């Protein structure tokens, strides 16, 4: 249990200070071909403090959170800030300090299940796969739960408490193909504790059947043809495009580090069909996969419109970069563990839905591909991106054709977004995004389907 207040340490603050106590709790179970190969729980908790002196920062952390250790951490962070201030030649920053208070708790109200119930749940899914699809070469079922619980107090009086859980089941299958093993996997679940997300295993059976059908079609599929193609990117891929390829290039630290987006503010960067937003916590009345009401610098979180009808409108900021650019901070300073300092991070990034129907979009493509799912992705300061695509289909004369083998798509995002000529009217959100940037952190991404032109790395 985290302490209910950090107020008692206010008098130990020296100058601009953030004090955060945090616990991350993980549960992980893996069944490989029916055997429990991992059965793990972990907890990582402690106290972290960040202090600013003359515009330079000191951070310190310790796993203990008794009165003595908290004071020692505050002292160490201040000492580090002083070390930097003594070496550097900088000025105090006149931060915009708007005090706020937030509290957000998604702890389930239901009785918690024990590890045995979790394992039985996974075992049921595994039995279903084994009995229904005995010809599979391998199968695995992974359960991954993460609870992130934090409490923050800043020297200017902002306070935050959040308990943000995420629960996922991952199903992975492979079959023996003509040219070696052919694999496919998918994630299920999302925001909330396991008990609020998953009811009974049979609710996932139809998803397993769909995954298996895709796998069989992929095994019988063809290699994509390399080169520039017209593609329809389904929502998962449009989401990762929004996050990786655009989102990262407009994070203010990347902008200051040389991103191509620096000179593009206020300019046309995409088709007018594209409006791209990093949402703080909710959209269309629903809570998003990674709700952030206050960030780890104590800024109350607001939506950030990045591209509005094709025009680049904003960068994403922490307090320091917002001051540098003269923009408003909207709550992007986030840390993963107690021992991490806040970095500029996205929350829930998506292109807004348009007016087209997915069927119309597919039927408008003479020779191209319908890409459904990303594996990994990477972007660049030039906005050039790459995503692995483990699931997609050919489009021939407006109709879906054969499935394609694993491939990679790439392009320069600001160029690719200029080719967007159709955006679907449906919106869906991914449930398992993790972003790596010094620290990993859960992120949300989603969107409609978009039609555009990009490069395929096939044969």
Residues 230-266, buried b or exposed e (16+ Cβ, 10 A)? bbbbbbbbbbbbbbbbbbbbbbbbbbeeebbbbebbe
- The verdict on 378 binding another protein (CB under 8 A) reads yes
Candidates 145-153, 188-196, 220-228, 360-368 — which segment interacts with another protein by CB under 8 A? 220-228
Choice from 88, 99, 101, 357 touching another protein (CB under 8 A): 88
User: Using the rule CB under 8 A, is 135 a contact of another protein?
Assistant: no
Instruction: State in angstroms the smallest separation of the CB of 431 from another protein.
Output: 19
Phi, psi torsion values for 273, nearest 5 degrees: -75, -10
Should residue 263 be labelled a site residue for another protein when binding is judged by CB under 8 A? yes
Selected from 387, 393, 414, 429, the binder of another protein by CB under 8 A is 387
At its nearest, how many Å lie between another protein and the CB of residue 42? Answer: 4
Assign residue 110 a region (left: φ > 0; alpha: ψ between -120 and 50; beta: otherwise): beta
Site for another protein in 281-320 (CB under 8 A): none
Region from 10-18, 94-102, 201-209, 451-459 binding another protein, contact rule CB under 8 A: 451-459
Nearest CB to another protein, comparing residues 95 and 118 = 118
Shortest distance (Å) from residue 216 CB to another protein = 16
* Token output for 329: 């901070």
Given the complex with another protein, which of 142 and 306 has the nearer CB atom? 142
Distance CA 241, CA 252 (A): 18
> Binders of another protein among 24-53, rule CB under 8 A?
32-33, 35-46, 48
Task: Give 307: exposed, middle or buried? Use CB within 10 Å, 0-12, 13-18, 19+.
Answer: buried
CB of 71 vs another protein, minimal distance in Å: 14
3-state secondary structure of 283: strand
232, β-bridge pairs: 370, 451
Q: Per rule CB under 8 A, is residue 386 in the interface with another protein?
A: yes
CA nearest neighbour of 77 among 53, 54, 55, 99: 53
| Size of interface with another protein, in residues (CB under 8 A) | 87
Instruction: Locate 311 and state its tokens.
Output: 């025009």
Q: Which of 3, 100, 157, 388 binds another protein (CB under 8 A)?
A: 388
* Residue partners of 331: CB distance under 8 A and separation at least 6: 280, 292, 294, 295, 299, 300, 301, 302, 347
Count Cβ atoms within 10 A of the Cβ of residue 413 and give its class: 0-12 exposed, 13-18 middle, 19 or more buried. buried
Between residue 329 and residue 358, which ones bind another protein under the rule CB under 8 A? Answer: 339, 341
Residue 136 makes CB contacts below 8 A (sequence gap 6+) with 129, 130, 173, 174, 175
Question: What span, in angstroms and rounded, lies between the C-alpha atoms of 151 and 163?
Answer: 9
Looking only at residues 60 through 79 of this chain, which bind another protein when binding is defined by CB under 8 A?
Answer: 60-64, 76-77
Q: 403-432: which residues touch another protein (CB under 8 A)?
A: 405-408, 410-412
Per CB under 8 A, contacts with another protein among 178-207 are 179-183
Q: Give the shortest CB-248-to-another protein separation in angstroms.
A: 10
Which residue, 83 or 130, is less far from another protein as judged by CB? 83
Asked if 340 and 437 touch (Cβ cutoff 8 Å), the reply is no
**Nearest approach, Cβ of 150 to another protein (angstroms)?**
16
Nearer Cβ to another protein, position 106 or 412? 412
Q: Does 83 bind another protein (CB under 8 A)?
A: yes
How is residue 91 written in tokens? 């000025």
To the nearest 10 degrees (0 to 180), the angle between helices 205-219 and 115-132 is: 40
Choose between 160 and 455: whose C-beta lies nearer to another protein: 455
Q: Which helix (H) or strand (E) holds 206?
A: helix 205-219
> Per rule CB under 8 A, is residue 2 in the interface with another protein?
no
Shortest Cβ distance from residue 50 to another protein (Å)? Answer: 8
Among 174, 193, 304, 431, which residue interacts with another protein (rule: CB under 8 A)? Answer: 174
What minimum distance in Å lies between the beta carbon of 376 and another protein?
6
- Which residues in the 147-166 window bind another protein by CB under 8 A? none
The residue assigned the tokens 């694993």 is 406
Complex with another protein: residue 157 or 457, whichever CB lies closer: 457
């Amino acid at each position: 249990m985290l302490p209910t207040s950090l107020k008692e340490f206010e008098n130990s603050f020296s100058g601009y200070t953030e004090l955060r106590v945090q616990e991350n709790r993980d549960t992980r179970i893996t069944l490989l071909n029916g055997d429990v190969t991992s059965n793990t729980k972990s907890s990582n908790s402690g106290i972290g403090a960040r202090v600013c002196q003359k515009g330079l920062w000191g951070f310190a952390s310790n796993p203990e959170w008794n009165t003595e250790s908290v004071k020692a951490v505050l002292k160490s962070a201040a000492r580090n800030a002083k070390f930097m201030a003594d070496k550097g030649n900088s000025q105090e920053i006149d931060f915009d300090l708007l005090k706020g208070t937030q509290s957000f708790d998604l702890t389930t109200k239901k009785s918690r299940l024990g590890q045995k119930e979790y394992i039985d749940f996974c075992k049921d899914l595994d039995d279903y796969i084994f009995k229904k699809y005995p010809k599979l070469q391998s199968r695995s079922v992974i359960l991954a739960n993460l609870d992130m619980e934090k409490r923050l107090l800043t020297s200017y009086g902002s306070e935050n408490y959040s308990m943000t859980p995420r629960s996922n089941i991952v199903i992975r299958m492979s079959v023996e193909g003509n040219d070696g093993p052919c694999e496919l996997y998918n994630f299920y679940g999302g925001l909330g504790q396991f008990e609020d997300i998953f009811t009974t295993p049979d609710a996932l059976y139809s998803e397993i059947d769909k995954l298996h059908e895709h796998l069989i079609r992929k095994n019988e599929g063809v290699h994509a043809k390399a080169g520039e193609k017209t593609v329809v990117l389904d929502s998962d891929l449009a989401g990762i495009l929004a996050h990786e390829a655009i989102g990262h290039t407009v994070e203010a630290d990347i902008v200051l580090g040389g991103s191509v987006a620096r000179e593009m503010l206020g300019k046309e960067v995409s088709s007018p069909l594209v409006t791209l937003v990093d949402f703080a916590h909710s959209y269309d009345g629903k809570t998003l996969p990674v709700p952030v009401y206050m960030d780890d610098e104590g800024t109350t979180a607001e939506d950030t419109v990045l591209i509005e009808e094709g025009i680049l409108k904003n960068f994403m900021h922490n307090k320091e970069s917002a001051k540098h650019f003269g923009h408003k901070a909207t709550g992007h300073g986030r840390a993963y563990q107690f021992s991490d300092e806040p970095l500029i991070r996205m929350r829930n990034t998506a292109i807004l839905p348009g007016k087209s129907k997915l069927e119309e979009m597919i039927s408008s493509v003479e020779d191209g591909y319908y890409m459904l799912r990303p594996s990994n992705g990477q972007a660049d300061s030039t906005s050039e991106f790459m995503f692995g695509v483990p699931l997609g289909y050919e489009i021939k004369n407006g109709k879906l054709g054969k499935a394609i083998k694993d491939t990679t798509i790439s392009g320069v995002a600001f160029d690719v977004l200029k080719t967007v000529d159709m955006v679907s009217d449906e919106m869906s959100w991914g449930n398992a995004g993790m972003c790596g940037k010094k620290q990993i952190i859960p992120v949300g991404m989603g969107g409609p389907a978009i039609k555009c032109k990009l490069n395929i790395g096939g044969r």
